[in-house]
Amino acid sequence: MSNPYFDEFQELREKSTFRGEQWFGKRKELVEKYSWGIPNEEALVYLSEFDNIVEVGAGSGYWANCIEEEGGSVRATDIEPPKETFTNVKQAAVHDLDLSDKVVLSVWPPVGSSMAFYALQQDPAHFIYVGEPRGGCTAADSFFDTVERKYGLVARIELPSYAGANDDLYHYVRNI
């Protein structure tokens, strides 16, 4: 399996300090090129075990592409996909998707954005969230309120993170 983002991140980590990496803008470059979250092998193997994941806010589709290369199935969607993507990313707003009883993936939903919250309103069976815990730089309080009330955490996978970020993969299953 190919995961150039993880490889570039590890190389950067080995040859410079995280502080230096932040100062010289390498993080911005890698985030724009790949994704806000850095997938590792453990996360990709875990995700590849699910059938027909729907990724909301997929951006360039980097995560979806890596999951597909691992043998998984992902329908990547974004309200405004970029021109260049790693896989087919369908233009769609969360409101336009049928997410009920699905496996939904959301990688770094924007802080304060209602996107992840709206996805939860459709009662997916599984919600896989890559981001920071409540109070961090991802999602909105409404998302955290809903996921804490209606879902149970069944898995957490540590991901490589930039200095100052504390993002991991969280797998929630609907409990009501």
Over residues 114-172, the pLDDT tens digits come to 999 999 999 999 999 999 999 999 999 999 999 999 999 999 999 999 878 899 999 99
Residue 90 CB partners (closer than 8 Å, separation 6+) = 75, 76, 77, 78, 81
- As a whole number, mean pLDDT of residues 84-88 equals 97
- As a whole number, mean pLDDT of residues 43-70 equals 97
Task: Tell me the CATH architecture of domain 4-174.
Answer: 3-Layer(aba) Sandwich (3.40)
Torsion over CA: 130, 15, 60, 36 (sign): positive
- How far from 168 is each of 10, 122, 130, 142, 175, CA to CA, in Å? 17, 23, 6, 19, 22
State how beta strands 103-107 and 53-55 pair.
parallel
pLDDT interval class at 90 (50, 70, 90): very high
Is 80 exceeded by the pLDDT of residue 21? no
Is 60 exceeded by the pLDDT of residue 94? yes
pLDDT interval class at 17 (50, 70, 90): low
Query: Residue 23: its pLDDT value, please?
Result: 47
Is 70 exceeded by the pLDDT of residue 7? yes
Rounded distance between C-alpha atoms, residue 132 and residue 121, angstroms: 20
Whether this model's pTM surpasses 0.75: yes
Query: Nearest CA to 131 among 34, 27, 37?
Result: 37
Is 90 exceeded by the pLDDT of residue 105? yes
6-10, 52-56, 120-124, 125-129: least confident range: 6-10
Percentage of the residues of the chain whose pLDDT score is greater than 90 = 82
Rounded distance between C-alpha atoms, residue 52 and residue 74, angstroms: 5
Residue 5 CB partners (closer than 8 Å, separation 6+) = 30, 33, 34, 35, 38, 39, 62
